[in-house]
Amino acid sequence: MEKFYIKGGTTLNGEVKVSTAKNAILPILAGAILCDGVVTLNNCSKYSDVNYMVKILTELGAVCKFQDDVLTINSSVADKFYISDEYTKKVRSSIFMLGPLVARFKQAKVAYPGGCNIGTRPIDLHIKGLQSLNVKIEEKHGYIYCDAKNISSGEVHLDFPSVGATENIIMASVFCKGVTKIYNAAKEPEIEDLQNFINAMGGKVKGAGTSTIEIEGVKKLHSVNYTPIPDRIITGTYLIACAVTGGKVCLTNTNHLHNTALISKLKQSGCKLQLKNDKIIIEVGHKLKSIPKIETLPYPGFPTDLQSQMLTLQTICKGTSVIIENLFETRFKIYTELTKMGANIIIKDRMALINGVKSLYGANVTAPDLRSGAGLVIAGMCAEGYTTINDIYHIDRGYLNIENDFNCLGADIKRIEG
């Protein structure tokens, strides 16, 4: 088991390139099963979640090869529609395979997904969406069985704009004759990226980024060379890290339009930000003000995936802050760990009340999930003394050697065995 050993009290300065979005790559990898040829993905960052999805594709019979960070997938030779629980337990996005499998093979058998331990994470919207396309679904013995021999285009009304359900339904309907419409679709940039990827293979999807998406069925999808979008959650994590430690950081390969909710909060706190075409520069030279209220919401609201990092920032700001988590019910697990570091946080149901303290101190803590783990790395960099973070495998699911990026900017983080 690897750990991080962090010497606190460093500020961050310099330039760092943001890697490609995990949450864009994962549905695109699922969508590769739709391709009757070869998918070439550039800048395909090898997050551990991505490696697991590649293993799933291989289990289905696709031939996947990494050459540096270029991944090629020949899924035209895939011949299986069954995914065992060996990998689905490890990566929640395995649920995205349902849509492409029913589109391609007209049947699927997928074990229930795992993923970050941040709440119950039901899949009812995925199931109802597929049923609206005439897919028969049975759930038994921990597996979801889909019979899609009569799959057809249709109208899907999502009760909630679920990212995964929206992506799954888009992929399921790609080959359905006629037009499928998704109402109350999620609007995340990663959905628009999936649309662009499918259209680059010859698909006909429009409306992603708005709440109504239309998918006109095509007969087949051809080979493609595609570069997914940069990771807005990594961008946000690094901006918050600089806000916490102080300093001046320039992030490249980023799109500030994907982070407007965070940027407005950081400005409100007192951070100076310069927004350029594909760059963001943040400069922080003094103690920041608390944000009175932050509430997580579907895009373009404040992202739940930046809530733990923002909570970490609020622990050392001047004043009191309330954070309301609307998406995942157990996403405040970082608070017990931050409390060990001297933070003053009260949790009541889906609300956290944070009274800013002068400073945090180093402690032996454990990453409870991916984004909380990132929040703890940020806390460790600003704390007095040394912090050890256990269970950093959670962090590797969505950050590519986070310690290297922060060390390049002046942090002192060691990855150690133990």
Enzyme catalytic residues: 116
Q: Among 3-11, 159-167, 273-281, 406-414, which window interacts with ligand UD1 (CB under 6 A)? A: 159-167
Q: Which stretch binds ligand UD1 (CB under 6 A): 136-144, 161-169, 266-274, 406-414?
A: 161-169
> Min. distance of Cβ 162 from ligand UD1 in angstroms?
3
**Out of 160, 212, 257, 416, the residue judged to bind ligand UD1 by CB under 6 A:** 160
In the bound complex, what is the minimum distance in angstroms from residue 130's beta carbon to ligand UD1? Answer: 11
As a whole number of angstroms, the distance between CA 294 and CA 288 comes to 15
418 burial level (CB within 10 Å; 0-12, 13-18, 19+): exposed
Closest approach of Cβ 163 to ligand UD1, in Å? 4
Binding status of residue 93 toward ligand UD1 by CB under 6 A: yes
Q: Does 121 bind ligand UD1 (CB under 6 A)?
A: yes
Q: Which residues pair with 157 in a beta bridge?
A: 183
Q: Which stretch binds ligand UD1 (CB under 6 A): 121-129, 134-142, 258-266, 385-393?
A: 121-129
* Half-sphere exposure at residue 228, Cβ-oriented, CA atoms within 13 angstroms: 31
Sheet holding 204-206, edge to edge: 155-157, 179-183, 212-216, 204-206
Q: Which of 20, 74, 235, 304 binds ligand UD1 (CB under 6 A)?
A: 304
The residue (of 169 and 215) whose beta carbon lies closer to ligand UD1 is 169
User: Hey, which residues between 209 and 268 contact ligand UD1 (CB under 6 A)?
Assistant: none
Contact (Cβ atoms closer than 8 angstroms) between residue 362 and residue 387? yes
The answer to whether residue 349 forms part of the interface with ligand UD1 (CB under 6 A) is: no
288 exposure class (CB count in 10 Å sphere: 0-12, 13-18, 19+): buried
Calpha distance 375→368 (Å, rounded) = 10
As a whole number of angstroms, the distance between CA 73 and CA 81 comes to 16
- State which residue, 330 or 407, has the beta carbon closest to ligand UD1: 330
- Residue number, 325 or 403, with CB nearest to ligand UD1: 325
Among the listed residues 124, 139, 155, 278, the single contact to ligand UD1 using CB under 6 A: 124
- Distance CA(408)–CA(241), nearest Å, equals 13
Q: Of 8 and 298, which has the nearer Cβ to ligand UD1?
A: 298
The residue sitting closest to ligand UD1, measured at its beta carbon, is 164
- Cis omega (within 30 of 0) for bond into 300: yes
Tokens of 382: 């600003």
Q: Interaction with ligand UD1 in 186-205: which residues (CB under 6 A)? A: 186, 190
Residue type present at position 279: K
Give the shortest CB-266-to-ligand UD1 separation in angstroms: 19
Dist CA 378 CA 374 (whole Å):
6
d(CA 48, CA 22): 10
57, 130, 165, 198: which one binds ligand UD1 (CB under 6 A): 165
Q: Which of 164, 203, 207, 230 binds ligand UD1 (CB under 6 A)?
A: 164
Closer to ligand UD1 by CB, 325 or 356: give it. 325
Q: Among 99-107, 119-127, 137-145, 257-265, which window interacts with ligand UD1 (CB under 6 A)? A: 119-127
Q: How far is the CB of 124 from ligand UD1 (least distance, A)?
A: 5
Stretch that binds ligand UD1, among 136-144, 162-170, 265-273, 275-283 (CB under 6 A): 162-170
DSSP one-letter string for 203-223: -EEE-BTBSEEEEE--S-B--
Which ranges constitute the DSSP H helices of 248-390? Answer: 260-269, 307-315, 334-340, 370-382
Q: Give dist(CA 51, CA 71) in Å, integer.
A: 11
Q: Between the CA atoms of 87, 91, 95 and 101, what dihedral angle is there, to the nearest 10 degrees? A: -50
In the complex, the smallest distance separating the C-beta of residue 125 from ligand UD1, rounded to whole angstroms, is 3
Chain residues that interact with ligand UD1, rule: CB under 6 A: 23, 26, 92-93, 121-126, 160, 162-165, 186, 190, 304-305, 327-328
